[in-house]
Structure 1
Amino acid sequence: MKKLIAGVVLGVGLTAMAHGAGDPEAGEANAAVCAGCHGQGGAKPVMAVYPKLAGIGEEYLHQQLVAIKEGKREIAEMTGLLSDMSDQDLQDLAAYFDSQDITVAQANPDLVDEGQALYRGGNMASGVPACAGCHNPRGMGNEPAGYPRLSGQNAEYVEKQLKAYRGGERDAGQNASIMMDVAAKLTDSEIKAVASYVSGLQ
């Protein structure tokens, strides 16, 4: 009987962890202001340099929203938008966007081979690790670790962020130091290739 109870408790705990701490329905109520830049449900931003938020990962998105609200990650277009939101509001917002379906784009055929090689195998010569090691071979991310989904993300946005990590302009968040170290070893052509590749990764 004790084993059965323990199993039920563990199962409930794991289910709660899998679904995160946010309420997608509550988050939807605060998501209207986001649609102006990120599109309905965060699936189709109005500009390719803006990120798709749909399905990106609740833990990761919550981390980023907190960093933006606290001014640790500065995004001019979002100045003041989160000021009146509580941490639960941000968690709900993250849960809402994570529950939405993302659309996958078409990678540039000329860059697929180089991008795939970097994503899956890294670059041993320059010390670049494989992106798949943290972000999943299919680009689905790692929710418990707070690594975002990359599959289907806008190539222009990924390119911009990798360059921001490389230049030290993006240094907030629990995994920022890892990304800064990786990006520091990437060339412009490698960044463009891997960014294009993940945009079409399914």
Structure 2
Amino acid sequence: MKNIFKQAIVAVGLIAAAQGVLAAGDAAAGEGKAAMCAACHGADGNSPAPNFPKLAGLGEKYLLKQMHDIKAGDRQVMEMTGLLDSMSEQDMADIAAFFDSKTTQLAGAKPLTVRVNSGADVDGLALGETLYRAGKADVGTPACTGCHSPRGQGNEPAGYPRLSGQHADYIEKQLRDFRAGARVNDGDQRTMRSVAKNLSDAEIKALANFISGLN
């Protein structure tokens, strides 16, 4: 009886190990599988269009989660409707590994003036930096640095994406979507929705512009 139990434990361990191997992404295998993504995201994950996100170096764990969420319908991305339906877990893991292995090309921040709710015109770069590094203490909005790091490099083990160098237009849209509840795949803690809900349009624009120049 003990031998049967031991054999069962070993078998379960081998199955788990095999699943772990399957879940590991292979960047080399992902290159060919990612060819379909190039039209929007660029062959190396550096999208030339500001409305499509750069995927290069974004974080393997984060990229895989987004594909899972889009495939399951938990994140609505019209341009990706049906594109992931036939992909296996391994396919998505390989694609995530491929894009994460690439180097992000920095978008670069631009001089910007924004009009805040008081009606004053302020330096958008300075406002964006303040929001990124300090948040808005008066309404409990945390700094972005806690999850995405001071340089915008993200936190790969935690699945927090790299923001540095991302297109400002794309970041702005995501923050607006989180604020409006149009994007809700930020977990049970509603982290991004909680952050975005107290940001004005001007603050979102300033923050997105600053982030695009982080490195």
Q: TM-score by structure 1 length?
A: 0.87
d(CA) in 2 for partners of 1:131 and 1:175? 18
Residue of structure 2 equivalent to 1:138: 151
Q: 1:194 maps to what in 2?
A: 207
In the TM superposition, what is the alpha-carbon distance from 1:106 to its structure 2 partner? 2.0
Runs of 4+ more than 6 Å apart = none
The Cα of 1:21 is off from its aligned counterpart by: 2.2
Task: Report whether the alignment pairs 1:164 with 2:177.
Answer: yes
Residue 138 of structure 2 aligns to a residue whose secondary structure is coil
For the pair 1:37 / 2:40, whether they are aligned, the reply is: yes
Residue 175 to residue 99, structure 1, CA distance change in 2 (3 Å): farther
Equivalent residue, structure 2, for 1:7:
none
Question: What amino acid is the match of 1:26?
Answer: A
CA distance in 1 between counterparts of 2:189 and 2:158 reads 13
Aligned pair 1:185/2:198, yes or no? Answer: yes
Residues 1:190 and 1:167: Cα distance change in structure 2 (over 3 Å): same
Residue 28 (1) aligns with residue 31 (2): yes
- Cα deviation digits, residues 138-191 of structure 1 (max 9, x gap): 100001111000000000000000000000010024377110111001111110
Report the RMSD for the aligned CA atoms in angstroms.
Answer: 1.6
Give runs of aligned pairs for residues 97-136 of structure 1, distance below 5 A.
97-110=99-112, 111-136=124-149
Q: Distance in 2 between matches of 1:60 and 1:165?
A: 17
Contact 2:25 2:96 in 1 (8 A): yes
Answer yes or no: is the 8 Å Cα contact 1:55–1:149 preserved in 2.
yes
Of 77, 80, 86, the residue aligned with 2:79 is: 77
Deviation at 1:109, TM superposition (A): 2.3
Contact 1:63–1:173 (8 Å) recurs in 2: no
Partner of 2:164: 151
- Calculate percent identity across the aligned residue pairs: 54
- In 2, distance between residues paired with 1:142 and 1:175? 19
Greater CA radius of gyration, 1 or 2?
A: 2
Choose which of 182, 187, 208 in structure 2 pairs with 1:174.
Answer: 187
Distance 2:79 2:151 in 1: 31
Q: Counterpart of 2:92 in structure 1: which amino acid?
A: L
Q: SS at 2:137's partner residue? A: coil
Shift of 1:41: 1.1
Amino acid aligned to 2:147: C
- Is the contact made by 1:67 and 1:173 (CA closer than 8 Å) also made in structure 2? no
In structure 2, what is the equivalent of residue 14 of structure 1? Answer: none
- How many residue pairs align between the two structures? 183
Q: Displacement, 1:44?
A: 2.5
SS at match of 1:42: coil
1:150/1:176 CA distance change after superposition, 3 Å: farther
SS at match of 1:158: helix
TM-score normalised over the length of structure 2: 0.81
Gaps of 5+ in 2: 1-22, 113-123
1:123-145 C-alpha deviation (Å, 9 max, x unpaired): 11222110011000010000111
